Amino acid sequence: DLTKRMKGAVNLAEAASKKAAIEKPLLNGHLKKEVPEKSLERNRPKRATAGKSTPGKQAHGKTENASCENRSTSQAESLHKPQDSMGKHEKGSSKSGWGMLGEIPILRPSTKEFHDPLIYIESVRAQVEKYGMCRVIPPPDWRPECKLNDEMRFVTQIQHIHKLGRRWGPNVQRLACIKKHLKSQGITMDELPLIGGCELDLACFVQLINEMGGMQQVTDLKKWNKLADMLRIPKTAQDRLAKLQEAYCQYLLSYDSLSPEEHKKLEKEVLLEKEILEKRKGPLEGHSENAYKFHSLPRFEPKNGLINGVVHKNGFRNKLKEVDVPLKTGRRRLFAQEKETTKEDEEEEEGVLSDLHKCIYKGRSVSLTTFYRTARNIMNMCFTKEPTVTEVEQEYWRVVEQKDCHVAVHCGKVDTNTHGSGFPVGKSEPFSRHGWNLTVLPNNTGSILRHLGAVPGVTIPWLNIGMVFSTSCWSRDQNHLPYIDYLHTGADCIWYCIPAAEENKLDDVVHTLLQANGTPGLEMLESNVMISPEILCKEGIRVHRTVQQSGQFVVCFPGSFVSKVCCGYSVSETVHFATTQWTSMGFKTAKEMKRRRIAKPFSMEKLLYQIATAEAKKENGPTLSTISSLLGELR
Please give the residue range of the domain that contains residue 213. Answer: 168-284
Expressed in angstroms, the distance from the first to the final Cα of the chain is 82
**What DSSP string runs through 89-104?**
TTTT-PPTTGGGPEEP
Contact of 430 with 146, CB cutoff 8 Å = no
122 and 202 in a single domain? The answer is no
Compute the C-alpha angle 176/177/182, nearest 5°.
Answer: 95
Angle, helices 202-211 vs 240-247, to 10°: value is 90
pLDDT for the residue 11? 53
Q: Where is 11: in which H helix or E strand?
A: helix 2-17
**What is residue 136's three-state secondary structure?**
strand
Q: Which residue has the higher pLDDT, 602 or 8?
A: 602
pLDDT for the residue 635? 54
Contact of 468 with 541, CB cutoff 8 Å = no
Q: Is the pLDDT of residue 303 over 80?
A: no
In whole angstroms, what is the distance from residue 579 CA to residue 585 CA?
11
Interval 440-466: pLDDT, tens: 999 999 999 999 889 998 999 999 999
Strand partners, 154: 366
Q: For residue 309, is it left (φ>0), alpha (ψ between -120 and 50) or beta?
A: beta
In whole angstroms, what is the distance from residue 56 CA to residue 568 CA?
9
Closest C-alpha among 621, 166, 77 to residue 402: 166
418 and 438 in a single domain? The answer is yes
Residue 245 located in a structural domain: yes
Mean per-residue pLDDT, 206-218 = 87
627 and 544 in a single domain? The answer is no
Mean per-residue pLDDT, 69-92 = 37
615 and 554 in a single domain? The answer is no
262 and 148 in a single domain? The answer is no
Domain boundary among 243, 258, 284: 284
Q: Which residue has the higher pLDDT, 612 or 173?
A: 173
Q: Which residue has the higher pLDDT, 39 or 424?
A: 424
Residue 12 located in a structural domain: no
Strand partners, 430: none
133 and 221 in a single domain? The answer is no
**What DSSP string runs through 32-88?**
PPPPP---PPP--TT--------PPPPTTTT-TTGGGS-S---HHHHS--GGG---T
Closest C-alpha among 71, 93, 115 to residue 545: 93
Closest C-alpha among 403, 405, 17 to residue 226: 17
Which pLDDT band, with edges at 50, 70 and 90, does 617 fall under?
Answer: low
Contact of 506 with 541, CB cutoff 8 Å = yes
Mean per-residue pLDDT, 340-352 = 49
pLDDT for the residue 282? 65
Interval 570-599: pLDDT, tens: 999 999 999 988 988 888 888 888 888 888
Q: Which residue has the higher pLDDT, 321 or 482?
A: 482
For residue 240, give every residue at least 6 positions away whose Cβ sits within 8 Å of its Cβ, in sequence order, or none.
Answer: 195, 196, 228, 233, 234
pLDDT for the residue 382? 93
Residue 336 located in a structural domain: no
Domain boundary among 233, 263, 284: 284
610 and 596 in a single domain? The answer is no
Q: Is the pLDDT of residue 74 over 50?
A: no
Which pLDDT band, with edges at 50, 70 and 90, does 2 fall under?
Answer: very low
548 and 441 in a single domain? The answer is yes
Most confident region among 213-217, 348-352, 476-480 by mean pLDDT: 476-480
In whole angstroms, what is the distance from residue 352 CA to residue 289 CA?
18
Q: Which residue has the higher pLDDT, 69 or 222?
A: 222
**What is residue 476's three-state secondary structure?**
coil
pLDDT for the residue 492? 98
204 and 134 in a single domain? The answer is no
As to burial, measured by CB atoms within 10 angstroms (0-12 exposed, 13-18 middle, 19+ buried), residue 269 is middle
Contact of 250 with 3, CB cutoff 8 Å = no
pTM of the full structure? 0.77
139 and 194 in a single domain? The answer is no
Domain boundary among 269, 284, 299: 284
Q: Is the pLDDT of residue 42 over 80?
A: no
Q: What stretches of 189-233 show up as alpha helix (H) in DSSP?
A: 202-211, 221-230
Residue 3 located in a structural domain: no
Specify the number of domains making up the chain. 3
Compute the C-alpha angle 296/299/301, nearest 5°.
Answer: 165
Residue 457 located in a structural domain: yes
Strand partners, 485: 554, 574
Residue 264 located in a structural domain: yes
In the chain, what percentage of residues exceed pLDDT 90? 46
Lowest mean pLDDT among 134-148, 355-369, 431-445, 468-482: 355-369
pLDDT for the residue 519? 67
Interval 513-533: pLDDT, tens: 887 656 677 877 877 889 999
Mean per-residue pLDDT, 504-520 = 81
485 and 430 in a single domain? The answer is yes
In whole angstroms, what is the distance from residue 522 CA to residue 102 CA?
22
613 and 490 in a single domain? The answer is no
pLDDT for the residue 312? 39
Mean per-residue pLDDT, 493-498 = 97
What is the domain-level CATH number for residue 497? 2.60.120.650
Q: Where is 317: in which H helix or E strand?
A: strand 317-320
What is the domain-level CATH number for residue 276? 1.10.150.60
Residue 498 located in a structural domain: yes
Q: Which residue has the higher pLDDT, 523 or 484?
A: 484
Mean per-residue pLDDT, 500-507 = 93
Closest C-alpha among 580, 496, 432 to residue 101: 496
pLDDT for the residue 88? 36
Strand partners, 556: 133, 483
As to burial, measured by CB atoms within 10 angstroms (0-12 exposed, 13-18 middle, 19+ buried), residue 631 is middle
Residue 2 located in a structural domain: no
For residue 252, give every residue at least 6 positions away whose Cβ sits within 8 Å of its Cβ, in sequence order, or none.
Answer: 178, 202, 205, 206, 209
Contact of 541 with 509, CB cutoff 8 Å = yes
In whole angstroms, what is the distance from residue 408 CA to residue 201 CA?
9
Within 10 angstroms of residue 525's Cβ, the number of other Cβ atoms is: 29
